[in-house]
Each structure stands twice: as C-alpha cells, then as structure tokens.
C-alpha cells in the first residue's frame, strides 16, 4: 500500500510549489537569448524540482503482514474451600478434577482449530484468590469460599488482553453470594462471559459431625473418666442417633460407652463415662453415618484416656546362625520395659543377604522411615551391609542424630572395617576408626581377657550389681573372648569402656568396648562377638553358674543407649490439660523432670516447642517457650499458642477433613547440656464454618452465569464443547514502512535529468 507521510502542513507545500513555478517563469523571462527561453530547456529542471517536492512530501510504501492466530485464553476458577471435600464416595473436589482430566482427554482427541488448544490458566479461590500451576494445588483446605472477592480481583491478573471466557468450578456455597450480581455486571461490561460448572450431590441432606471433644489429660487405669464434647446435626433435626466409644483397632469388641441423642440442628453438648484401660490404647468416639450425609469423615474422633507404659523398642539383628539370636533377645525381654524385635540373616555371606524377623519370616528391617522411627535402638551384630538399602542406612543415622535413638555394632567377620562399614554413612555412628586395611582381614582369632579401667567402671553400662565392691569382682570375672575385630583408634568424642588385657598382634593393647554421643543419641562399639564363636563363653558363663551378668549387661546397654530417645525417654514426663483444642486455644503444658537417680527435680531448664507430625505448621518454626517451676511442688508449667495447621494433601480431597495432629516437644537441659527430650501429641480442630451448610447451592451459580452472559455446564462434554467453540485470538499485524525516496533509482533519475538539462543548455550556447 502507498501512502503519504508528510512532515509539514499542506500550505507549506503549496507555497513551495508556487515559489518554484515563479522562479521558473522568472528564469525564462530573464534569459539572455530566445534559444534559452525554449520550454524544452526548462522541462528537465521542472521535473527535478517536482521530484524534490515529492521527496519533501515523504511518500512511503506500507506493507502489512498478518501473524498466525493465537489460541484463546480461558481462566478456570476452582473452589478450594473445605466444603469441596464433602460428598461421597468421591468428594466435590475430586469431581472437579475428574471433569478436568476427562476434558483434557477429549481435547486431545478433537481436531485442533485455528490457533490450537485453548490456553488454560488455573486459579484457586477460597479465602483469597491465587494462581495454581496445575491441579495438584487444588486441594480443598480453605475455611471460607469468597467467590465474589475472587471475581473482583481477577481482572487485575489479566494480561494484555482479557480472556475469552471464565469458568467457575464450585458447589455454590459462597460466603459472599449477595455480591455476585455486581461482580457479574463488571465482567459483562468487559465482554468476558462467566460460565459455571456446579458440583455436589443435590440429594445431600446435611452433615453430622463431632465439633468438639474434651478428654482428661491423664487417667489412671481402672478409673472411670468423663469425656465431654459437642455434636452437630445440620439438616437432621429430630433424628435420633447413638454415640459410642470403641477400641480403635478392635472394632469387633462391644462399645465401651454409648449415649443416645436426638439431633436438633444446633450444636448439642454431650458427656460419656468411659473406664480407662491401658490395654485398649487408642479409642474412637463415633457417630453413625446417616442417609444423605455429606461426609462421614467428621463423624469420628480418636483419643486416648491412658496409655500403657511404653516399652523401649529395640531392633536386634544377628548374623550368627544356630539360633544364636536367642541369647541377647531373651536377655532384653526379661525386662518388662523392653520389647525386642529379633532378626536373623538368611544366607549371611551372599552378596545381598536377606534379613528376616524371627517371628515373621515375610518381613525384615523396617521398610519405611516412619516404621523405623517407632524404635528406640538398633543393634547390628555381624550383618553384611548388602542386607540394607542406602535409605535404611540414612534413616538409622537420622534415628540417632535427630531423634535421640541408640545404635550398637557388634563384632564379626562382616562387621566394622572387615565388612567395609567404613564406606557407608554408619561410619559416622561408630565410636572407632574402622579402617583396618593394614591389618589383613580386619579381624583375628585370639583368646584374650578384658580389662575395665577404674575410671570407666562407674559407667552405667557396667553397673551389673548394686554393691560397688561386688560389682568390681563381677567385672573382673568376665570370661575371655576368642576373637575380635581390630579397633586401632578412638574417635575424638568417644570413650573407651574396656581394653584387652593381653597384647593383640600388630596393635598391642587395644580398646574393645567404646561409646560416644552422636547428635541427640548415643552409639556403642563391641569389637568381639557377643555370640558363638568369639563370644560363646561370654554369652553362657558370665554369671553365678549361669549367664545372669551377660543378660544384665545387655539391658544396661540398651537403657543407656535409649536414654535420650524421643519415644523412650524416662527422665522427662509431660502432659497437656486437654488432648483436643480448637485452633488458637492456648495449650497448657505441665512437666516433671528426673535426675540420673530418677528423683524429681526442678534444677533443670525446660523449654517447649510446637512441632508438627502428620501436618505442616503454618509458620516454619514455632518459637520455644520456657516452662517455669510451679510456686510449690516439682511441676513445671507453661502455655503455648496452638498454631493453625494444614494436613499434607494426597489428592483425595477428603484429607482436609482429617484432624491435624500437633506434636509438642519439651527439652530438659542441666547446666546447658541436654539431658532429656520428650514429646506428646494433641489434635487441633479446624474452623468448621464450611460444614455448617453442607448442601451444594447450584442456583447461586446459575444466577451468576445468567447475569454474566455465560452458560451452565453439566460435565466434561459441555466443557470440551465450550472450549472447542471459542474462536482463536487473531494474530497481530506486523506493519513495515519504507520511504519511496530511499531508493537509488530516484536519485539516479534526478542526476540524469540534471545531466540532460546541462547538455541541452550547452547545445543552446
């Protein structure tokens, strides 16, 4: 296309043309001869002047190129309030995700229109509007549904052009429904239709839920305790239900307590009397599921009245065959407070031996981090490192370093450096340097006796009998060992608890028992074997015609290793005033600390901190609170603020109905050194505002679509058809302009005309 782009106004060009014409006429009239007045001589000059005027007019060539069409842009607004977790068997949130997945599959099978598939931008709305990168961020966790707020904020997120459409996925239970017409009018003025896809079972009658539960923090066994709470029966006015308390893991047993209630539609307090029995462990308060109920997830709450005295849980792995595992296992289980999980190695010397439990040959070492963390101590006796995965080794280090657990390695031809354990992360745990390459195989057969230095004889591990004088004789009477792994060098933090009384080839006097702290926990190295064949005398003859001292040694060792264990602590006891709180309620903690002789003391400094277990705290780390001794007695007391928690989502939608569990950790320090650590758990009831009206409200969404000139969609078919029918966004126009005078031909023409004029004038004289 040709167009003019004159830099000056038109009258200037008219004046310029008139001036040039006047000059030409004047030049002709003033010529000195008739031959020079010939118009033929003036034609080239007039042409040059005309071309120069045209140049001043700035003619340009305009070229326009249409770019390809762009896919239409559509915004999806998805409700993530807690009410979207209702409905069964599939929650409303899952219904939305199923529609999105099915729509995506249908679009893949549909021939692409000009511009390609629509570009979808996900937004989640509940209490506030935020973008979402994919559907994994659409779990229903918010305690409000502010759809009008979200629609009012959405235009500020628009790019250069507004989307072709907005699609709202919700159950219609908006807290600000009265403002939706105003928000719809704004989108109508923007010419952006709002389409809606309602979800939720319209046959839902209501919801029965246990909204509150108060349980005594500690009840002695056999005592009848009062359990109080509040039940809500929205939509079931006049219905009669029976609340009952059962044993959580034994539902076949008769109910421990029952209470009939007639629902009124309002919150109703209740009280049940339950006898505390430590054997039952976790109890379950349950309301029956009624027909047409939105969800049964909030019909039950677990709690405990009293827990059985927790035993120290020990994993003991033995590589020596012939039922040698029984010696240490039986010694530990003589203590009623110790529970031993015994394992043996199947085909110990193959590259990948398999650990199997003595009481369950289908299971071995804990296969998950959570399962391992239920234990306080790990004892590894002559087990090849090929029996473990890298993750299991890492979990064991974490058990000791972070959770205060214990770890012991016992000698054998696959232990310590002989088993290449110095090449694993367990090298950190062992109190001695395991590298023994210059000592042949890293172990030897040789009989030797053990010498316990006087400064080590007072260690708790060596307290075999109570009388100090008799204890020294017992230690001196320890039977000889018949072989050992090499222990060349203790690590800086380690303490040698015993040495060889005899010289060891290439080494001399060598430590054989060593201990060290590691992180929050403790570790131990036992260089000889505790069973056949290096330790066959030790396991059978250290006693009074029996092996009683052998058995006491292992119980002492386990108790010392587990002293700081989070789950097995005996020097610190804590409790809370309740076990269930509403978010924001203060948590009152009381604690009792004990010294090394198990006497109550207030000489320690105690701090409490909220952590999370099975839930994620809203703040990254809650501040620690100091617990102060009470004015009288030996009890420490203090208060913590209950933090709002969010449950990790697994995508099912119903996990937002689970009561988050809050873990409280108390640490006791003496003279700045940590001496004990204990934890307890409470449950945090979330804000249940979203469940007060569980029925979906599709009529709210219908009115919104009508006011915003949109459609009501009923499923994936409607949504896919809508997206396929939205026209593509026209591509931008790319315009280029080039001045006509920016051409060598023009200037060559002007030069040619000037040359012609010069030639003609020369010929005319």
Q: Could you read off the pLDDT of 429-452 as tens digits, one per residue?
A: 999 987 654 577 888 999 999 999
Q: Is the pLDDT of residue 455 over 60?
A: yes
SS3 content of the chain, % helix, strand, coil (to 5): 30, 30, 40
Residues 242 and 357 in one domain: no
pLDDT tens sequence across 594-609: 876 667 889 999 999 8
pLDDT at 647 exceeding the cut of 70: no
Residue % of the chain over a pLDDT of 90: 44
In-domain check, residue 211 = yes
pLDDT band, residue 694 (cuts 50/70/90): confident
State in Å, rounded, how far the first CA of the chain is from the last one: 46
What does the alpha-carbon distance between residue 558 and residue 568 come to, in Å, rounded to a whole number?
A: 11
Give per-residue pLDDT as tens, 378-409: 999 999 999 999 999 999 999 999 888 999 99
Nearest partner of 483 among 519, 453, 515, 526, judged by Cα: 526
pLDDT at 115: 58
pLDDT at position 686, please?
A: 62
CA pair distance 278, 594, nearest whole angstrom: 24
Confidence bin at 688 (pLDDT 50/70/90)? low
644, 499: one domain: no
Domain match, 376 and 511 both: yes
Q: Report yes or no on 358 lying in a domain.
A: yes
Residue 566 lies in a domain: no
More confident: 309 or 718: 718
Distance CA 397, CA 132 (A): 37
Among candidate residues 489, 498, 513, 516, the one with its CA nearest the CA of residue 456: 498
Position 409 in a domain: yes
Q: Which residue has the higher pLDDT, 585 or 519?
A: 519
Rounded to an integer, the average pLDDT of 64-88 is 85
Rounded to whole angstroms, the Cα distance separating 355 from 389 reads 12
Cα R_g (the chain), whole angstroms: 43
Q: What is the DSSP string of 220-270?
A: -TT-EEEEEEEEEEET-TT-EEEEEEEETT-TTSPPSEEEEEE--SS-EEE
- Residue 243 · residue 272 · CB < 8 Å: yes
- Indicate which CATH number applies to the domain containing 597: 2.60.40.1930
Task: Read off the DSSP letter of residue 135.
Answer: G
Greater pLDDT, 663 or 157: 157
Using the 3D structure, point to which of 244, 273, 303 is the last residue of a domain: 303
**Mean model confidence pLDDT for the chain:** 86
pLDDT tens digits along 312-325: 999 999 998 878 99
Does 279 share its domain with 365?
no
Q: For 235-251, what is the mean pLDDT?
A: 90
On the question of pLDDT at 611 being above 90, the answer is: no
Note whether 646 and 759 are same-domain residues: no
CATH code of the domain in which 251 resides: 2.60.40.150
Helix (H) or strand (E) holding 148: helix 147-153
> What is the rounded average pLDDT of the residues 65-70?
74
Window from 87-91, 323-327, 521-525, 707-711 with minimum mean pLDDT: 87-91
The CATH number of the domain where 430 resides is what?
3.40.50.880
**How many other C-beta atoms are found inside a 10 Å radius of the C-beta of residue 97?**
20
417 and 534 part of one domain: yes
- Binned at pLDDT 50, 70 and 90, residue 305 comes out as confident
pLDDT in tens, 329-340: 999 999 988 999
Residues 367 and 494 in one domain: yes
pLDDT band at 615 (very low <50, low <70, confident <90, very high): very low
| Structural domains in the chain (count) | 5
- Under DSSP, is residue 45 helix (H, G, I), strand (E, B) or coil? helix
Tell me, yes or no, whether 92 lies in a domain: yes
Q: Are 48 and 750 in contact (CB under 8 A)?
A: yes
Q: Which of 165, 190, 158, 199 is nearest to 76 (CA)?
A: 165
Question: Which CATH number belongs to the domain containing residue 159 in this structure?
Answer: 3.40.50.410
Domain co-membership, 652 together with 745: no
Look at residue 597 in the predicted model and tell me its pLDDT. 63
Q: What is the pTM of this model?
A: 0.53
HEC assignment per residue over 369-384? HHHHCCCCEEEEECCC
Provide mean pLDDT across the span 114-134.
86
Last residue of a domain, one of 526, 561, 596: 561
Distances (CA, A) of 691 to 87, 140, 551, 656: 11, 12, 58, 12
Phi, psi of 602 (to 5 degrees): -120, 20
- Identify the domain containing residue 617 by its residue range: 572-691
762 alpha-carbon distance from chain centroid: 96
Flag whether 532 is in a domain: yes
Q: Tell me, what's the pLDDT at 40?
A: 78
In angstroms, the CA 42 to CA 35 distance is 11
pLDDT at position 11 is 84
CA distance 264 to 278: 36
Is residue 567 assigned to a domain?
no
In this structure, are 387 and 340 located in the same domain? yes
pLDDT the model gives residue 464: 95
Residues 411 and 507 in one domain: yes
The pLDDT score that the predictor gives to residue 100 is 94
Instruction: Please report the pLDDT score of residue 113 as a whole number.
Output: 63
Spatial separation of the C-alpha atoms in residues 142 and 649, rounded to whole Å? 13
Instruction: Looking at the structure, tell me whether residues 475 and 361 fall in a common domain.
Output: yes
Q: Which of 268, 303, 338 is the last residue of a domain?
A: 303
The pLDDT > 70 percentage for the chain reads: 91
Q: Specify the higher pLDDT residue, 95 or 309.
A: 95
pLDDT digits (tens, 9 = 90+) for 456-496: 999 999 999 989 999 999 999 999 999 999 987 899 999 99
Query: What letters, b where the CB count within 10 A reaches 16 and e where it falls short, cover 676-704?
Result: bbbbbebbbbbebebbebbbbbbebbebb
533 and 604 inside one domain: no
Q: Is residue 730 part of a domain?
A: no
Residue 557 and residue 524 in contact, taking contact as beta carbons nearer than 8 Å: yes
């Amino acid at each position: 296309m040709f167009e003019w782009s004159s830099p000056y106004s038109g009258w200037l060009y008219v004046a310029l043309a008139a001036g040039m014409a006047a000059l030409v006429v004047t030049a002709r009239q003033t010529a000195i001869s008739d031959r020079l007045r010939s118009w033929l001589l003036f034609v080239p000059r007039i042409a040059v002047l005309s071309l120069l005027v045209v140049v001043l007019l700035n003619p340009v060539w305009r070229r326009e190129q249409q770019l390809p069409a762009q896919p239409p842009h559509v915004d999806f607004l998805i409700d993530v309030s807690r009410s979207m977790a209702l409905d069964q068997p599939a929650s409303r949130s899952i219904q939305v995700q199923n529609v999105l997945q099915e729509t995506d599959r249908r679009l893949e099978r549909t021939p692409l229109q000009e511009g390609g598939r629509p570009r979808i931008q996900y937004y989640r709305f509940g209490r506030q509007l935020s973008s979402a990168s994919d559907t994994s961020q659409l779990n229903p966790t918010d305690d409000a549904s502010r759809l009008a707020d979200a629609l009012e904020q959405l235009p500020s997120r628009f790019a250069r052009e507004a989307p072709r459409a907005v699609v709202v996925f919700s159950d219609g239970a908006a807290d600000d429904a009265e403002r939706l017409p105003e928000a719809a009018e704004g989108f109508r003025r923007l010419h952006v239709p709002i389409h809606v896809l309602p979800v939720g079972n319209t046959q839902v009658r209501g919801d029965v839920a246990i909204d509150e539960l108060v349980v005594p923090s500690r009840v002695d066994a056999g005592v009848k305790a009062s359990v109080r709470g509040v039940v809500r029966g929205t939509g079931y006015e006049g219905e009669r239900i029976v609340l009952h308390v059962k044993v959580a893991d034994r539902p076949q047993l008769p109910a421990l307590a029952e209470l009939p209630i007639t629902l009124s539609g309002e919150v109703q307090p209740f009280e049940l009397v339950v006898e505390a029995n430590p054997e039952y462990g976790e109890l379950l308060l349950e309301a029956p599921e009624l027909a047409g109920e939105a969800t049964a997830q909030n019909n039950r709450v677990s709690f405990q009245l009293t827990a059985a005295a927790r035993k120290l849980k020990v994993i003991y792995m033995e590589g020596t065959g012939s039922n040698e595992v029984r010696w240490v296992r039986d010694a530990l289980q003589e203590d009623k407070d110790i529970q031993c999980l015994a394992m043996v190695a199947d085909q110990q010397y193959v590259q990948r031996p398999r650990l199997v439990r003595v009481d369950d040959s289908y299971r071995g070492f804990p296969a998950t981090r959570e399962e391992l963390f239920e234990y306080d101590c790990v004892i590894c006796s002559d087990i090849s490192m090929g029996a473990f995965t890298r993750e299991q080794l890492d979990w064991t280090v974490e058990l000791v370093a972070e959770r205060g657990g214990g770890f012991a390695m016992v000698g054998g031809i696959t232990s310590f450096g002989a088993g290449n354990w110095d090449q694993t992360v367990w090298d950190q745990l062992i109190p001695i340097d395991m590298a023994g390459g210059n000592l042949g195989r890293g172990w030897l057969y040789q009989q030797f006796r053990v010498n316990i230095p006087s400064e080590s004889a007072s260690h708790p591990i060596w307290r075999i009998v109570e009388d100090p004088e008799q204890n020294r004789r017992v230690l001196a009477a320890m039977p000889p060992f018949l072989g050992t792994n090499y222990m060349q060098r203790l690590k800086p933090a380690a303490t040698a608890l015993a040495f060889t009384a005899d010289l060891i080839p290439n080494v001399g006097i060598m430590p054989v028992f060593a201990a060290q702290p590691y992180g929050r926990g403790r570790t131990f190295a036992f260089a000889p074997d505790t069973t056949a064949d290096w330790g066959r005398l030790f396991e059978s003859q250290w006693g009074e015609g029996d092996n009683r001292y052998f058995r006491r040694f292992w119980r002492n060792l386990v108790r010392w290793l587990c002293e700081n264990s989070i789950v097995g602590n005996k020097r610190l006891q804590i409790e809370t005033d309740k076990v269930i709180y509403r978010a924001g309620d203060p948590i009152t903690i009381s604690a009792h600390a004990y010294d090394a002789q198990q006497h109550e003391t207030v000489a320690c400094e105690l701090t409490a901190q909220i952590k999370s277990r099975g839930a994620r705290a809203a703040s990254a780390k809650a501040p620690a609170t100091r617990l102060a001794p009470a004015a009288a007695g030996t009890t420490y007391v203090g208060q913590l603020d209950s933090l709002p928690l969010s449950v990790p989502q697994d995508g099912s939608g119903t996990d937002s109905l689970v009561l988050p569990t809050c873990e409280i950790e108390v640490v006791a320090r003496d003279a700045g050194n940590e001496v004990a650590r204990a934890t307890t758990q409470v449950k945090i009831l979330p804000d249940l505002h979203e469940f007060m009206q569980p029925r979906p409200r599709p009529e709210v969404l219908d009115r919104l679509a009508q006011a915003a000139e949109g459609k009501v969609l009923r499923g994936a078919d409607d949504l896919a058809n809508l997206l396929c029918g939205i026209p593509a966004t026209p591509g931008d126009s790319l315009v280029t302009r080039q001045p006509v005078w920016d051409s060598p031909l023009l200037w060559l023409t002007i030069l040619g005309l000037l040359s012609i004029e010069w030639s003609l004038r020369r010929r005319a004289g």
